[in-house]
Chain A
Amino acid sequence: MSILQVNGVSKKYSNHVALNNVSLTVPEKSIFGLLGPNGAGKTSLIRIINQITGPDSGEILLNGEKLNQKHISQIGYLPEERGLYKKMGVGEQALYLAQLKGLKKADAKKKLEYWFEKFEMQTWWKKKIEELSKGMQQKVQFIVTVLHEPELLILDEPFSGFDPINAQLIKNEILELRKKGATIIFSTHNMGSVEELCDNIALINKSEKILDGSVKEIRKTYRTNTYKIAFKGNVMGFTNALWTGGEVLEKVTEDDINYFTIRIAKTITSSQLLQAILPTCELVSFNEIVPSMNDIFIMKVNQGNEILGTKSNYTE
């Protein structure tokens, strides 16, 4: 079951195209990574999903229903550029924002008390936002985003501004929310967290979607049959044992141990490779080098840019 379906959405501003016929599907109860370099159109898409702006064409379905006002209370949104009223009390402010999402005041208060206790911030209730540190403000902001228990949670760069401890805290909360049945879309540049958290991703570049699917599938598709092998023994014997299709990319010898990076033909499996080399040497380690999401991201974006004839290369 998919919770969110984006069908052929386009959005144009006066001097540039923000989104060009983008379609994607977000499965229910998953964590979905919306990736792309700056200015690719991620925020435009997120704003359309939040009904902050409307698409020029295309449609968006939430639980199979065309997006409408009713859905506002089912979505929680943490924008990349975030902030709170500086002069307003923490509790009062959280109550106000919760009520705007459609919660009753009494309910909102009860839920807030739960979260305040969970994050050990009961004493902050009466404090003004400007009296809190940046990390504390981010916690308040996170609570406000999830307070109304949205089915769909959209987090734009959720970890920016958090120290590692708080980032871990939020990460755990995100996982827990998914366990409870929420779907999370999160937009980020931090590929490490994508690999750690995301089930599925979509990659947007220059207002077009250039890649989507499950993280596992994508990484499998982009494997290059490259292996890193460490062994003790005769180098000559080892190289002779490789098929003609095997290509040595790199070789280093350190303390009697040879480290070889090799690429083999796609038709050869890893066990066939192992069988061939085992008799020639004493194996220390054997690893397949699977491209990281980061590599795939950079590769795809640069590929896209080359096709479009632009020279600027994207580097993380």
Chain B
Amino acid sequence: MSKIGLIMGREIKSKLSNKTFIVMTLLAPLLITGFLGLIIKMSMDDKTEQRVLVIDDSHVIADKLVGNDYTSFATSNEKLDEAQLSFSKKNYTCLLYIFPGVLNSSKGKVKIFYKKSPGLFFQESLKNQLEKVIYEGQLKSNNIDVNVINNAKISVDIITQKIDENGYNKDDSHFGFLGFIIGALMFMFILMYGMMVFRSVMEEKTNRIVEVIVSSVKPFELMLGKIFGVAVLGVLQFCVMGIVTFVLTTILSTFFMKDLNTQFDKFTQQQELVKKNGTNVDFKKLTNFSDKVETFEIMKKIKGINIPLLLITFVLYFVGGYLFYSSIMAAIGSAVDSESDSQQFITPVMIPLMIGYFIATKTITNPDSSIVFWGSIIPFTSPIVMMSRINDNTPVWEIALSLGLLYVSFIFTTFLAGKIYRTGILMYGKKTSWKEIGKWLFYK
């Protein structure tokens, strides 16, 4: 046993002394939070100030444009070419020209002259406003009451609530798309560390040091030491990444998302109020941040995640799934001489993982389907699929069964992998086939 410890120690140390590994561990959370921040930033309003000078040759739109905190409209009666000439001297950021026949064609046109390119967000909000103004203008010119149309449009909100045999009644806390992301993360982790074992085994084989080592330890011990070493490394890396991500996102949310958080709190208060009173009120009308409802819904899901459950099951499934696949990867690594030969063996191993990944996409649309259920029980796919569907309501027996099966089959795959590994690491020069590997299982 102490020898397995030695091997684990070397495996961990060799990776920790690798600069790329350290950089990746720290960089990944940075990238994740950066990406998150970017999404949030993009979902927030474009706050560049825009002072727009409007020249309206249709004479029906300009006075209906409404500015906000950072967009202001001013109307001018100048001719377009005059305005264009004097524009550069004036204190406006854009010149908006509305063509005369804008109401009469099916595709209305406006033109923006600018000093600094106006952002896409500004263009999008301007487009929305123009369309709204034109829409209402068209209705009015046809003597249709805008309110009638608006009242006829009733938005329906679906509030999901689950009732099971025990009368257990709670908000369905299914994570939907987030669940899939967690499943995809699991896929990535298992593959990444599986490949790490694969490379480490192959490196020892191509280095030819392996024969020296197996004259001191049993090949099986060497393989286990390697697998466990990388497992420790994986959990360690996962923890470091988790902590760094947590710290970074906390910083991000306290310093850069303060407004968003307070707005979010207001939003949830309003939502609660609506629920309690049972009135059929459109949230979008209630809140003055209607454009952020989607963002808030996602935030609500994130805040609703049972973090301890998720972390514990993630680690358990990661370790189980990793052990299951890494022993297969070790066997394959022992069978090949060079990276270029390895593809034919890695692909078949990737397939069940890919299937798991695709079943995980199913959990977004249909989390209670039988393919998702079986996918989350069968060891080949269970780490990915279960992690994508797990929530507070997942029956404990399902988790226990799937974890149990996973760990039992790990012992089985490791046993078989050990047999292949033992022979494979000492085979040089020959191109290995699956048939050959099959034979190795029966060598004494």
Contact = CB atoms under 8 A, between A and B. Distances in A.
Nearest to A56: B444
Interface string B1-16: 0010011001000100
- Interface on chain B toward A: helix, strand, loop, or mixed SS? helix
Interface string B197-215: 0000000100111011111
A101 interface: yes
- Interface on chain A toward B: helix, strand, loop, or mixed SS? loop
B211 A13 contact: no
Contacts of B7: 100
A54 interface: yes
Contacts, number: 71
A185 to B, nearest CB: 13
Contacts of A96: 6, 10
A141 B212 CA distance: 9
Nearest to B440: A14
B4 to A, nearest CB: 11
B215 A52 contact: yes
A87 B14 contact: yes
Interface in A47-80: 47, 50-56, 72, 75, 77-79
B443 A100 contact: no
B213 A97 contact: yes
A47 B10 contact: no
Nearest to B436: A14
B428 A100 contact: no
Nearest to A145: B212
B422 to A, nearest CB: 8
B3 A100 contact: yes
A75 B215 contact: yes
Contacts of A233: none
Contacts of B208: 79, 81-83
B216 A72 contact: yes
Interface in A15-39: none
Given A84-B207, A85-B207, A85-B209, A97 B216 contact: yes
A294 interface: no
Given A52-B426, A141-B212, 4 more contacts: A52-B211, A81-B211, A88-B14, A100-B6
Interface of B: 3, 6-7, 10, 14, 204, 207-209, 211-219, 422-423, 426, 428, 439, 443-444
26 contacts: A14-B443, A50-B215, A51-B218, A52-B214, A52-B426, A56-B444, A72-B215, A75-B215, A77-B215, A79-B212, A81-B211, A81-B428, A82-B209, A82-B212, A83-B208, A84-B207, A84-B212, A85-B204, A85-B209, A96-B10, A97-B213, A100-B3, A100-B6, A100-B216, A102-B216, A141-B212
